[in-house]
Amino acid sequence: MTNAENERKTFWKIFHDVLKETGNPFMFTENKYWACINSNDSNWHRTIIAMDFLVQKEIFRINLYINNDIELFDMLLSRKEEIEKLLGFEVKWVFSEKKGNARRIKLEQSFIKNNNIEYKKLIVKSISIINNFVKVFSKYTII
């Protein structure tokens, strides 16, 4: 197992433990460096709220991933101010260069790798952000 694989395994285990400690406000299914919120699979072929734990870049990304639904993204983008006000923070609106029709509405946080205390702080902070994503984006799309 590589160091990155080991860190991902550690991070997702800590995340599951923290969710259990906080009453399981949502669930997720992980697959390598990404995870899908409130899903029993890690299917990226539909609109989902996802998390990406990018060990080498030391970035944790929370995002609404929109695959092949440009109309949905455009509708959300037309309500950018309203959505960011409801979220309580600004997010980045990203047009994917690699996947053509894929779009993301994301928030990225940095972290220090190989540090379980840092991971737990990041996870605790992220839970309310993820809950906001679920609450806000479920008004506009089926996730």
Residues 94-114: tens digit of each pLDDT? 987 676 778 999 999 999 999
Q: What pLDDT is recorded for position 95?
A: 86
Q: What pLDDT is recorded for position 1?
A: 76
In a domain, 85, yes or no: yes
pLDDT in tens, 59-99: 999 999 998 888 999 999 999 999 999 999 999 999 876 76
In a domain, 128, yes or no: yes
In a domain, 143, yes or no: no
Instruction: Quote the number of domains for the chain.
Output: 1
HEC profile of the chain: CCHHHHHHHHHHHHHHHHHHHCCCCCCEEEECCEEEECCCCCCCCCCEEEEEEECCCCEEEEEEEECCCHHHHHHHHHCHHHHHHHHCCCCEEEECCCCCCCEEEEEEEECCCCCHHHHHHHHHHHHHHHHHHHHHHCCCCCC
In a domain, 142, yes or no: no
Question: Domain containing 85: what range?
Answer: 3-137
What's the CATH code of the domain at 120?
3.30.1460
In a domain, 86, yes or no: yes
